[in-house]
Amino acid sequence: AKEVKPIALISEGTRIADEAKQESEQIVYQESKKTVEDTRNLVFADFNFKDVDRLITFYNIAKETGRKFVVKINDAFFLKHLSQDKHLRVPNIDDDDVIIYLPKRGSGQYSDKDYKGNDKEFVDLHNTWTAEQIAQRPDKVLCALGFYSFTALIDMGIKPGARYIHSASEPYNEEQKISQKRIDAWVDHFGMQKFQSHCSGHARGSHLLEAVSEIGAKTLYPVHTERPEEYRKVSKNIVLVKEGKKYTL
């Protein structure tokens, strides 16, 4: 049968012009593991908890460095449900290497009345720890706590030299730059050391060009990219998409 080429193709291009930087989950693992191994102080890892690969990376680092993997109550729900899919290899909330961080709420005294709804199921678990309990074991935990949990640093009595691993993309718009300044202010205030280790989930430029070339669509619509012209290397008919304009494929 004769091969039929598609009429139109929509392709993202976040990293279309980025080939210099070598990235992989394995590199994140190696860099972050060394960061954890080289200290006996508290370590915090800030990443998107819904990224299962990154979640498993830091869970494994915790196990391999003799630390417990500390998660927020909200993220404990992810573990509880995602662990049901054995293909994901996500630990359950009763895993021996998982600790659930119990934040102060309401009275600020860890009263049972402070915790409502589904949170109640985590309050009395054997592996639910308060900030004070975590502070007593700085070299025994790796905390998956990001910026929105930074108030916990006050109760954890952070000592200078604690490490903060930012395992997400660098800020690329004004709002994110403002958030980054807030993070840096907290890190500086507590005398923490900051480390950056991340790999993008987007395809590399050469792989995108190869895929577009092989598909060979009559018309290409590049989206989510600041460098759509890079696709001219492999496509003769490119439509530069404009915001608010309707296109019929």
Express each pLDDT in 16-30 by its tens digit: 766 555 668 999 999
CB proximity list for 39: less than 8 A, separation 6 or greater: 139, 161, 163
Q: What is the pLDDT of residue 72?
A: 95
Give the mean model confidence (pLDDT) for residues 47-63: 96
What was the pLDDT predicted at 21?
A: 57
**Cα–Cα–Cα angle for 241, 244, 248, nearest 5°?**
60
pLDDT band with cut points at 50, 70 and 90 for residue 36: very high
Q: Identify the top-confidence range among 27-31, 115-119, 226-230, 245-249.
A: 27-31
Does 89 have pLDDT greater than 80?
yes
Strand order in the sheet with 141-143: 128-129, 98-101, 68-72, 141-143, 43-46, 163-166, 193-196
pLDDT > 80? residue 241 = yes
Go through the chain and tell me how many residues it has. 249
Residue ranges of the alpha helices (H) in 90-190?
120-123, 131-135, 152-155, 174-189
- Is the pLDDT score of 113 beyond 80? yes
Give the Cα separation of 89 and 74 in Å (integer). 19
